[in-house]
Structure 1
Amino acid sequence: MNLAPGGWRYAVPPALAAVPALIFSTGLAAGMLALAVGVVAFFRDPDRTPPLTGIVSPADGKVSVLREEGDRVRIGVFMNVWDVHVNRSPVDGTVGSVEHSPGAHRPAFSKESDRNEKVHVRYEDAEVTLIAGAFARRIHPYVEEGDDLTRGDRIGHIAFGSRADVLLPPEIDREDLAVEEGDAVTAGESVVATGPEEELLT
């Protein structure tokens, strides 16, 4: 099983602690093992196969934000504790910049999460924003300026949370959207917007 970077660092300590815990309680040892298994599940990083066309979701979860910002449309995906937390590129393109913005750590499903700590991954005319939450306080980008990406490539993960947004290219409007608020999506596979193929490449 593939794990996101750092996954074993969280999983190994409770697994090792289960051995001496047997001296005191089988229940405690079982709890330590269950915690280790849970961490492995949380950091799982399955392979994904993007569709041939379309802008794909940057995250697993449910669409929690869908709004217009000037002449652009933003789609936000909330990741709960059961979702895969590895984020993926929604478009083909070259990374123009990766910027960290400090901020609060509000629950990712609340409106106040727009003020949370973020990492912005910018392309020529699209942008992915990884947003920390109340418990997710570590954003780990995998990419840097100048990297050439293909739709579905891994771009980072958020340890223990929380939301990933994609600000769509200006030529994509609401009529091109393939999702609504509340829809379940899969990172790198679920199409969130459609249009002429040449318009979907950044």
Structure 2
Amino acid sequence: MPSEMLKTFLKPMHPEGYKFVAAFAVVTLVLFWIWEPLGWIGTGLTVWCYYFFRDPKRAVPQGEGLMVSPADGMVSLIERAVPPPELGMGDAPMLRVSVFMSVFNCHVNRAPVAGRLVKMAYRPGKFLNASLDKASEDNERNSLCLELADGRRIAVVQIAGLVARRIVPFVSEGQGLKTGERFGLIRFGSRVDTYLPEGVVPLVTLGQTCVAGETVIAELGRDLPQRLAKMV
């Protein structure tokens, strides 16, 4: 029982976080030397840093056509928008589902659906609040175009936020991805947009909390109505 409780609170950490946690720990030791109360503040920040870089395993739903959320967080936008021009996917608007990640969410991003990464394009930019609509156009971003088995293409866009200063990809062009596979990480608060194929409607709603690799955001190949919800 104690070991199971420990696993509930102690999640694996992504290697990307090792150097940051180590730096926080060193600073904490210095703060303890300067003044003990400052050291305890540093301890809290070190724990938060570890928690930020957590990389827990996820139970990815198995089923043909299931699209899962690429990020932990809250659905902040559902609207039609043109995919980033650097992906070369044309000027036709696609339905976009945006998931906003706060600094308390897990920031490891996962592929929403199986496909081949035909293009990945990084573009520098501003660091506006990632929950804002204009962040999609103005902020630093890393855009991925995935080609599905049936030839359709979707876009997944990692967008840096107000605090985020680094987008870290784990994949390269030409690589095949499985549904729920890790493809990147954004450090310290951000957003991930998913552009759905024509005719596919989201099965999530504004304000809904999503879990990367687990929450089904849409189903390909099925004529389903858009899901609605209300806050209670």
| TM, length-normalised to structure 2 | 0.79
Q: 1:26 is matched with which residue?
A: 36
Query: Which deviates the most, 2-11 or 71-80?
Result: 2-11
Among candidates 172, 191, 215, match of residue 190 of structure 1 = 215
1:169 maps to 2:203: no
Q: 1:12 is matched with which residue?
A: 22
Deviation per CA, 1:163-198: give whole Å up to 9, x if none.
0011112241x3xx211111111000000002438x
Matches within 5 A, 1:41-52: 41-52=51-62
Deviation per CA, 1:6-50: give whole Å up to 9, x if none.
211111122123334333322122122211111000111111121
Which fold has the larger relative contact order, with Cα–Cα distance below 8 Å and residues 6 or more apart in sequence? 1
Q: Which amino acid aligns with 2:210?
A: V
Distance (Å, rounded) in 1 between the aligned partners of 2:162 and 2:44:
23
Q: 2:131 is matched with which residue?
A: 109
Matches within 5 A, 1:1-202: 1-53=11-63, 54-69=66-81, 70=92, 72-114=94-136, 115-124=138-147, 125-172=153-200, 174=201, 177-196=202-221
Query: Which deviates the most, 64-73 or 36-45?
Result: 64-73
Query: Which deviates the most, 114-123 or 24-33?
Result: 24-33
Q: Which amino acid aligns with 2:38?
A: L
Distance (Å, rounded) in 1 between the aligned partners of 2:34 and 2:124:
43
Deviation per CA, 1:120-179: give whole Å up to 9, x if none.
01112011000001110100011111111110000101000210011112241x3xx211
Q: Which runs of 5+ in 1 are unaligned?
A: 198-202
Distance (Å, rounded) in 1 between the aligned partners of 2:164 and 2:28:
25
Distance (Å, rounded) in 2 between the aligned partners of 1:17 and 1:60:
29
Distance (Å, rounded) in 1 between the aligned partners of 2:93 and 2:169:
27
The structural deviation recorded for 1:104 is 1.2
Percent identity reads 36
Cα-Cα RMSD: 1.6
Contact 1:120 1:127 in 2 (8 A): yes
State the number of aligned residues. Answer: 194
Distance (Å, rounded) in 1 between the aligned partners of 2:127 and 2:22:
27
SS at match of 1:95: strand
Query: Which deviates the most, 188-197 or 51-60?
Result: 188-197
The structural deviation recorded for 1:98 is 1.0
Q: Which runs of 5+ in 2 are unaligned?
A: 1-10, 82-91, 148-152, 223-232
SS at match of 1:99: strand
